[in-house]
Structure 1
Amino acid sequence: MPPVPPTPPGPGQRSVWSFPRPPALERVGQTVRIDFGGREIARTEDALQVLETSHPPTVYLPPDAFAPGVLVPRPGTSGCEWKGRAVYFDVVSGDARAEKVAWAYPDPTPRFAALKDHVAVYAGPMDACWVGDERVTPQPGGFYGGWITSAVVGPFKGEPGTWGW
């Protein structure tokens, strides 16, 4: 638990402290879109979200949600104890390029099989990310990729002093 009490959720909200560990996977249930380089680069009604204790949801879009050529594979991988081996992408739109800001699981663990090839994107480097009509706030810190909306309350892991939570 955090050193400060979790924020009590209001109507229509959930506390990230009620999210499970190991994480859960569920549909977002709203239109998700991403703007970068002055244009919309992704849009879907079929996004998934991973819900993990102390984290705002990490949103994953199916690969066909992205405009052609936007995702450029990068060398290297990393591992997640829950989801498996991740691969990385740069995001490119016109003259704009954000390096290693997207990732996917080409062969996820059975529990997260629905994530196969879906792509998550760090919200911070993008022009804007949206869930429904709400602009997303990036999860604090540079390691985690959660998207904060008014539907979740924290405190959120990622802020200074939260590494040990």
Structure 2
Amino acid sequence: MKSNARSKTQVNWLQKAREGWSHKGEKRPPFAIEPQKGQRSVWDFARPPIIEKVTKPVTIHHKGTRIANSQDALAVLETASPPTYYIPEQDIDMSMLSSMPRKTSLCEWKGSAVYWALKDMTDLPVAWSYPKPFSEFEGLKGHLAFYPQYLDCKVDGIKVLPQPGRFYAGWITPDLVGPFKGNPGTEHW
């Protein structure tokens, strides 16, 4: 951590947020769905999250227009959530996006996020990025993650389902089992 660049209050908040998770991927809770052959349980994903290289083709379209096409994506795997896919900027048609300078958030693991909208829908964030991620997630620099709730997102040609809820942006693929964080009553997961 780069504590010299953070206030004592922020460091305390980050530490408290990081320690506040009860599920850390070490043991599946009794309500977790047992994965079948070829499936993974999101309850086996670690916390803190890890970054996984994705070599399958990842595509993102809006109303039939391609926004991104990559075979060099990253997936962030975190307990209870389907992976969030991060696409390198060079694989994104950045001319379709505009930054949302007034919208930001802070992730206790990855750092300060900035948001992106489609140029024809400037009030709706459809993606975010970490221009200066915490050192543990430096690999996400120069990548954008997209909300599958608003776009046509596919992995290896298969359309993904969005993670429940409006806050999260995990991509549910057929090889995953949950239940997934996001529905009302799952905030404490």
TM-score, normalised to structure 2, is 0.80
Contact 1:24–1:51 (CA<8 Å) still a contact in 2?
A: yes
SS of residue matched to 2:81: coil
Tell me if 1:123 matches 2:148. yes
Q: Where has structure 1 moved over 2 Å in runs of 4 or more?
A: 1-4, 95-98
Residue equivalent to 2:78: 52
- Residue 74 of structure 1 deviates from its aligned partner by 0.5
Contact 1:36–1:96 (CA<8 Å) still a contact in 2?
A: no
Tell me if 1:101 matches 2:126. yes
CA distance in 2, matches of 1:151, 1:125: 22
For 1:10-159, list aligned pairs within 5 A.
10-75=36-101, 76-92=103-119, 95=120, 99-126=124-151, 128-159=152-183
Contact 1:56–1:156 (CA<8 Å) still a contact in 2?
A: yes
CA distance in 2, matches of 1:107, 1:159: 30
> Which structure carries more relative contact order (alpha carbon 8 Å, separation 6+)?
1
CA distance in 2, matches of 1:19, 1:147: 14
1:47-89 Cα distance to aligned partner (Å, 9 max, x none): 0010000000000000111114112100132111100111111
Q: Percent identity?
A: 49
Opposite residue 122 of structure 1, the aligned amino acid is: Y
Contact 2:98–2:122 (CA<8 Å) still a contact in 1?
A: no
CA distance in 1, matches of 2:141, 2:170: 19
Assess, with a 3 A threshold, how the Cα gap between structure 1 residues 3 and 16 changes in structure 2: closer, same or farther. Answer: closer
CA distance in 2, matches of 1:79, 1:68: 23
CA distance in 1, matches of 2:90, 2:159: 22
- Residue 123 of structure 1 deviates from its aligned partner by 0.3
SS of residue matched to 2:138: helix
Contact 2:50–2:77 (CA<8 Å) still a contact in 1?
A: yes
User: Over aligned residue pairs, what C-alpha RMSD do you find?
Assistant: 1.7
